Structure 1
Amino acid sequence: MTNGRVGVLAFFLLTGSAALAQRPAGPAERATLGAIERIRRIDPAVGAVIAIDPTALGQARRVDAAGTRGSLAGAPVLIKDNIEEAGPLPTTAGSLALAGNVTGRDAPLVARLRAAGAVILGKTNLSEWANIRSNHSISGWSAVGGQTRNPWALDRDPCGSSSGSGAAVAAGLVRMAIGTETDGSITCPAAVNGIVGFKPTVGMVSRTFIVPISASQDTAGPMAASVREAAMLLTAIAGSDSRDPATRGADAHRVDFAAGLDPHALRGKRIGVMRFASGFGTDAAFSTALAILREQGATLVEIKSFDDKAIGPNENKVLMAELKAGMNDYLKSSPASVPRSLAELIAFNEAHAGQEMALFGQETFLTAQKTKGLDAEWRKARDTSFAAAGPNGIDRLMKADRLDALVGPTMPPAWKIDAVNGDQIAGGGAGGLAAVAGYPHLTVPMGLVKGLPVGLSFIGGKWDDAKILSLGYAYEQARGPFPTAPLVPSIERVPPVAQQLAPQRL
């Protein structure tokens, strides 16, 4: 795959250089060629990009020929490789089973990006099957794309499942990318890669022609270098879709999210501090962030405890049942060369175990296959988990203290990539509440812990997307510039960490 990627990049650079020698390039073409050249130089060390779209330069030239139109005119955007786009690239979800999944369809969110003038640059790597194949997976690894690495320290994990999208923005390949989330798959990679990630209210963005996990919790969303750019992306991709019932109501809450950003949005707001979801090495950075919120005029209300025992086991039942139902439905419309059901995917992995299952298995797929569909047990689990996270969770917490939003650390710093033991995550915020409830969740870079970034989460109620983005924007503006990823081999080799690891002479 890497050799093919390098060959495609070389072709793009040669043909692009020849075109520039014959005529001046427009801004979209220059931006696209610049992004491709950065991928050529930087991405071999990071592994964020599965493939460049061979139509990218053609897209850019058409944007230039049409003049500067659309809010994203000429901006190169990478999309996660579980999202379909018309063209020659397959949508693989990182699996060799979908190597032939060339559908010729634009997902509605991709069509909206094109309408806004964006150039679809290519596909990013992801945790295979969006991290739902196994409980022992390695975030950022797929059989198609290999291992994506964290640009802050290349031996660290980029988190999943939108690992490639997060790492691509952090490494400076592009400033905007699209990820997807079921529970943490936008916000975790955004936080540990030191970028902005926004999981919208479920239903704000269409899920049509996206490889599914859960109809209750899935959503696509922006991953970007700044809150403003995330808001611009959301403005472009939000809106109803007749094929996705969850989007009913989206148009009533669809606004120009970027135009509504206010650097003074925190003044007079009441913000709930989720102490029950803090810790795991982030206390100092979190304290600094809270001080900034106070300085900007927010009143902070401490929330020390919350009982979430009803969520986890019931959420898992929901995800397993909906994975089987959703995957079977999605695969029915895929090309004939692609497996037609979850059972056939399981059989494919068994037949190609040396490539697909050398590092971890597919026990989660096997669990999902045993479910009986969207039955009474599924409905009870969904009602219980949603009530605990939404009406009796976020809604109750906000109503009790008249809060405008909740804040807390998003995730711990990135852990090391571990091909033997899988992911080794120690702790992790309250993003699960927003995921299960389907409510908006924004993470903004908060600080560094021993040289690794951590994020600050802003969580609100259903359709509070515009307000949450504006609160995060106000924090971001007050926080000031954030460092860029250094692309070092290991954080242990960077002062002052390296100095502390060295023997101390007496």
Structure 2
Amino acid sequence: MSTAPAAPPQLLVGAPPAHGEAGPRPDLDLDAVTIPELVERMDAGALTSVELTRAYLERIAAVDRQVRSVLLVNPEAPAQAAESDRRRALGRALGPLDGIPVLLKDNIDTRGLGTTAGSRALGVPPAEDAELVVRLRAAGAVVLGKTNMSEWGNFRSAWSTSGWSGAGGQTNNPHVLDRNPCGSSSGSGAAVAASLAQVAVGTETNGSIVCPASQSGVVGFKPTHGRVSGAGIVPISTRQDTAGPVARHVVDAAILMSVLEGRGVDYAAALTPDALRGARVGVWRRAGHDAEADRVVESAVDVLRRGGVTVVEVDLPYQDLIATAGLRALLTEFRHDLEAYLATRTGVPRTLRALIEFNEADPVELSRFGQDLFFEAEKAPSITDPTYLDQRRTATDLARRSIDEVMEVHRLDVIMAPTNAPAWRTDYAGDPVGLGSSTPAAVSGYPNATVPAGFAGPLPIGVSFMAGHGADAAVLRFAAAFERAAPVRRAPTYLPTLP
């Protein structure tokens, strides 16, 4: 299924089908079921991957006309599911992801399935899979399709609108359809929230996993930089970019993360139920940016204290310096890394200049906003320039210090912060500059997990857990413990606008 790029959203009349109504098993609640529960059913012969895959495909056909999160579905998905069922019948299942439908953000090379980074310029599909897709196939996952995204990872214009791309149009927030899903893994977050796949893969440079996940009311995990291969992913910056899981449940994110990393680690096994008791958690409130987020954070602090946590109020330093140096560094890295990636593709523009000219000639690409960041990146210094090298060094060093120093001084296990304010109305005037806490973990390359924590009316608000280099298991463990202590997530209701 593809989405016409210039068409307005088509809204269904009334509410979409209930989560258990898609597919042949009305007892299967797609919103609530976890991967371990699905595996248990499949092992017992009570469910097949073919049935599960059909349920998700039918739900995409019924619901995604409103959300517009799925750019295309994989015609080979039913055959992949059938092959998984054959393996399971022979006792040869490949692990917990075998037979589980997964959606991929459309900047991840997937042979024969597009990979546009949201741009109409990348119309010829890649011939090879990204390394992470190779890992998913080896684990038996069903590649269900590709999700829409903010074009070029929201790095074409400072006035871009999250969730819009020339290739896929505008993705909507499934909780309130005229609200924004955040970017750039907008389709991955919205699709998982709408139960259009069991899990999805997103990518992040700065906030592009945790913000879409949080704003759509699901779990998102940005791992330590380097844990997941970036080979075959359309980049902004190979020094910050990373792929990571989007899921409705932390255990599912942990299972997917184990496969994406592919080093034999079992993150799900590390999700101990007593992670909160006796822990020290720093709370970076970002207070005063948004009253609703402040309220949700206060509620989250109460949950932590009831769970036996010592809460320490903290402030993370250096944020303005990190942001300034980091943006200048990204402009240099974008041109260098993107052109290196384009050289691996056939039938597409090979340079940033060629992309600029393509956009100027295309009837859709510049219809919503311009390409000012493309022009800035074209003029940015080279990757060997001393000024650039100092900018990158400054941004990364200060981002690491902002977390490491605070954790050391206060003897913290993790830091918690609000992930987002309530979703804004999509109006094509550019995304508002508002509440966000992703920068320290993004620029440092440290792990960051967001979990639903509350609502502002129908709009979700999440909290993020972050820690130092390599603390992925700890961050997921705290996220899972918080999820267990505060099970606030709920399925979206597809309101056309706020009451």
When the two structures are superposed, what TM-score results if normalisation uses the length of structure 1? 0.87
Residue in structure 1 matching 2:122, options 98, 114, 138: 98
* Equivalent position of 1:80 in the other structure: 105
* Equivalent position of 2:18 in the other structure: none
- Cα shift readout 1:327-380 (whole Å, capped 9, x = no counterpart): 110011111x2001111111111111x310011000001100112321211110
Residue in structure 2 matching 1:200, options 220, 223, 233: 223
SS, match of residue 310 in structure 1: helix
Aligned equivalents of 2:127, 2:193: Cα separation in 1: 30
1:426 CA drift (Å): 2.6
Sequence identity of aligned pairs in percent?
Answer: 46
SS, match of residue 96 in structure 1: coil
1:140 CA drift (Å): 0.2
- Cα shift readout 1:114-151 (whole Å, capped 9, x = no counterpart): 12221000000000011000000110000110000000
Residue in structure 2 matching 1:37, options 58, 68, 86: 58
- Cα shift readout 1:390-443 (whole Å, capped 9, x = no counterpart): 0x2100010011111100100111000012x12224322x21000000000000
Task: Give matches, 1:93-492, under 5 Å.
Answer: 93-100=117-124, 102-239=125-262, 251=263, 255-276=265-286, 279-281=289-291, 282-304=293-315, 306-335=317-346, 337-352=347-362, 354-374=363-383, 375-390=385-400, 392-419=401-428, 421-428=429-436, 430-491=437-498
Aligned equivalents of 2:458, 2:86: Cα separation in 1: 44
Aligned equivalents of 1:2, 1:275: Cα separation in 2: 39
SS, match of residue 418 in structure 1: coil
Aligned equivalents of 1:52, 1:301: Cα separation in 2: 46
SS, match of residue 60 in structure 1: helix
* Equivalent position of 1:71 in the other structure: 96
* Equivalent position of 1:60 in the other structure: 81
Contact 1:270 1:298 in 2 (8 A): yes
Aligned equivalents of 2:128, 2:168: Cα separation in 1: 22
1:26 CA drift (Å): 6.8
* Equivalent position of 2:33 in the other structure: none
Q: Alpha carbons of 1:26 and 1:152: their partners in 2 closer, same or farther (altered >3 Å)?
A: closer
Aligned equivalents of 2:177, 2:244: Cα separation in 1: 25
1:108 CA drift (Å): 1.1
Q: Name the aligned partner's letter for residue 206 of structure 1.
A: S
In structure 1, runs of 5+ residues without a counterpart are: 6-15, 18-23, 240-250, 494-506
Q: Alpha carbons of 1:467 and 1:25: their partners in 2 closer, same or farther (altered >3 Å)?
A: closer
SS, match of residue 476 in structure 1: helix
Q: Give the aligned CA root-mean-square deviation in angstroms.
A: 1.8
Aligned equivalents of 1:62, 1:331: Cα separation in 2: 34
* Equivalent position of 2:13 in the other structure: none
Q: How many residues align?
A: 456
1:305 CA drift (Å): 6.0
Q: Alpha carbons of 1:277 and 1:218: their partners in 2 closer, same or farther (altered >3 Å)?
A: farther
Q: Name the aligned partner's letter for residue 431 of structure 2.
A: D
1:25 CA drift (Å): 11
Aligned equivalents of 2:288, 2:276: Cα separation in 1: 21
Q: Alpha carbons of 1:28 and 1:399: their partners in 2 closer, same or farther (altered >3 Å)?
A: same
- Cα shift readout 1:237-289 (whole Å, capped 9, x = no counterpart): 104xxxxxxxxxxx4xx620001101111111111111346641311111111
Contact 1:277 1:409 in 2 (8 A): no
In structure 2, runs of 5+ residues without a counterpart are: 8-22, 25-44
Contact 2:316 2:406 in 1 (8 A): no
1:481 CA drift (Å): 4.6
SS, match of residue 272 in structure 1: strand
1:483 CA drift (Å): 1.7
SS, match of residue 393 in structure 1: helix
* Equivalent position of 1:12 in the other structure: none
- Cα shift readout 1:40-93 (whole Å, capped 9, x = no counterpart): 00000000000001111111111111113321121100000000112x221100
Q: Name the aligned partner's letter for residue 75 of structure 1.
A: I
Q: Alpha carbons of 1:284 and 1:383: their partners in 2 closer, same or farther (altered >3 Å)?
A: same
SS, match of residue 334 in structure 2: helix
1:389 CA drift (Å): 0.7
When the two structures are superposed, what TM-score results if normalisation uses the length of structure 2? 0.89
SS, match of residue 356 in structure 1: coil
Q: Name the aligned partner's letter for residue 339 of structure 2.
A: N
Contact 2:218 2:489 in 1 (8 A): no
Q: Name the aligned partner's letter for residue 3 of structure 2.
A: T
Contact 1:71 1:236 in 2 (8 A): no
Aligned equivalents of 1:155, 1:220: Cα separation in 2: 27
Are 2:58 and 1:48 aligned?
A: no
Q: Name the aligned partner's letter for residue 57 of structure 1.
A: P
- Cα shift readout 1:18-45 (whole Å, capped 9, x = no counterpart): xxxxxx9971111111110000000000
- Cα shift readout 1:201-255 (whole Å, capped 9, x = no counterpart): 000100000000111110000000010000011011104xxxxxxxxxxx4xx62
SS, match of residue 358 in structure 1: coil
Contact 1:94 1:129 in 2 (8 A): yes
Aligned equivalents of 1:2, 1:411: Cα separation in 2: 28
Contact 1:26 1:61 in 2 (8 A): no
